[in-house]
Amino acid sequence: MSKTLQAIRGMNDLLPDQTPLWRYFESTVAGLLDTYGYRQVRMPIVEFTELFKRSIGEVTDIVEKEMYTFEDRNGDSLTLRPEGTAACVRAMLEHGLTGGGQVQKLWYIGPMFRHERPQKGRYRQFHQIGLEVFNLEGPDIDAELIVFTARLWKALGISDAVTLELNSLGTSEARARYRGALVEFLTAHLDKIDEDSQRRLKTNPLRVLDTKHPETQAVLVNAPKLADYLDEESRVHFEGLKARLDAVGIPYVINPKLVRGLDYYSKTVFEWVTDKLGAQGTVCAGGRYDGLVEQMGGKPTPGVGFAMGIERLILMLETLGQVPESIARTVDVYLCAFGEQAELAGLALTERLRDQLPGLRLQVNAGAGSFKSQFKKADKSGALYALILGDDELAQQVVGFKPLRGQGEQQNIAWDALAEHLASCVVQG
């Protein structure tokens, strides 16, 4: 017997039972983005590998070990996008949309690919919604991004389960000075830090701050602090951000160890974290990347953005019981028709109903069947009402209107009166 074909590990199907919650999530976010004036962009899922090497940085976890990279038939090295910012910047540059100081407030949604160890909240194909803003220096816009996310958590009913962590990485000059001090300090304690950190010390020293290794963490207690190396401009920027968050009452925790995995951040960095998902605690992360556009070949262009992990947020909604009841039901009315003539009349009737009540979720029985089997299907569909059309109803030009969830008795309704009747009990109710 041939082996059953399977999906790739860490790449999940989203089955029909799960998609209503995803669609609820996506439409909640998209609706809110509209109200803040963000416009959607859609980039390809595959880009030249060079794009990610140049933007994300060669010595990051993503580029070193997580990318899905392959040669296409022309011999070009291509990569499934591991994140959205690089492609978004590429698209802006390619179409000249950030030149001359044009402000862009953008968002995107879609799958991202990273070859990581799959576990709860961590997959190889996962989905993000990201925002990117170009040509605004902040801190007002940095605050807006955070304020937006706070409003989203509220709309989703998960505010109490997430915490905002903030830090400032300073300008690249300030960070370079700090990096020097950190390297000097860690080199003097080389024998007490773990192997991975020793390696990072050479490639990307700030990432050592991110270590999970207890002994290295102990050494870091006495390490120089990034905050002490912040330049005046970044300090003022950070104060401005905090003042705005205070003004709208959004609490935050300053986390001096928050450095983010990607090379391109400067000044503001932030993460929304939760303790409800075990080890995969970050649901949304981002920051300012003023140097990135220039690094990718454009004119100096301030930028700031973030991305949220949709799988982790969906898990949160489920864990916290914040799945709205209304999304469980996907059928309002189910038509059962018995016999060829009734089926024909039923189709004409239901198509007329769809004209009259465009929002009505109306399922027409397919595959004929006995009374018993059609009622069973009607009930299983989750519909509130069954419409019944047999020879008797046909002769009288009525339908049997049968509540399926115990809201009253079955009655006959004239075809002409059906739309109005349904409007009163389904569309508005």
The torsion defined by the Cα of 18, 121, 112 and 62, in degrees rounded to 10, comes to -170
Determine how many CB atoms are found less than 10 A away from the CB of residue 179. Answer: 16
Identity of the residue, 38 or 272, whose beta carbon is nearer to ligand ATP in the bound complex: 272
Minimum separation from the CB atom of position 191 to ligand ATP (A)? 28
| Choice between 54 and 312, CB closer to ligand ATP | 312
Nearest approach in angstroms of CB 406 to ligand ATP is: 42
Q: Which one, 238 or 306, has the nearer CB to ligand ATP?
A: 306
Closest distance of CB 87 from ligand ATP, Å: 14
| Beta strands 253-254; 77-80: pairing state | unpaired
Identity of the residue, 284 or 398, whose beta carbon is nearer to ligand ATP in the bound complex: 284
Minimum distance from CB of 273 to ligand ATP (Å)?
A: 9
> CB of residue 257 vs ligand ATP: minimum separation in angstroms?
13
Nearer to ligand ATP, 11 or 344 (CB): 11
Residue closest to ligand ATP, measured at CB: 309
Q: Which is nearer to ligand ATP, 96 or 278 (CB)?
A: 278
298/309 with CB nearer ligand ATP:
309
Residue 58 Cβ vs ligand ATP, minimum distance, rounded to whole Å: 16
What are the DSSP calls for 357-414, one per residue? -TT--EEE--S---HHHHHHHHHHTT-SEEEEE-HHHHHHTEEEEEESSSSS--EEEE
CB proximity list for 380: less than 8 A, separation 6 or greater: none
| Shortest separation between residue 60's beta carbon and ligand ATP, angstroms | 9
Q: What are phi and psi of 382, to 5 degrees?
A: 85, 0
Long-range contacts of 420-427 (CB under 8 A, 24+ apart): 422/332, 422/333, 422/353, 422/357, 422/360, 422/385, 423/357, 425/384, 425/385, 426/332, 426/333, 426/357, 426/360, 426/384, 426/385, 427/332, 427/357, 427/359, 427/360
Give the span between the Cα atoms of 360 and 339, in whole angstroms. Answer: 25
Q: Please give the residue ranges that form the binding site for ligand ATP (CB under 6 A).
A: 83, 114, 116, 121-123, 126, 128, 261, 280, 282-285, 307-309, 311-312
Give the C-alpha separation, 423 to 328, whole Å.
20
Amino acid at residue number 155 = A
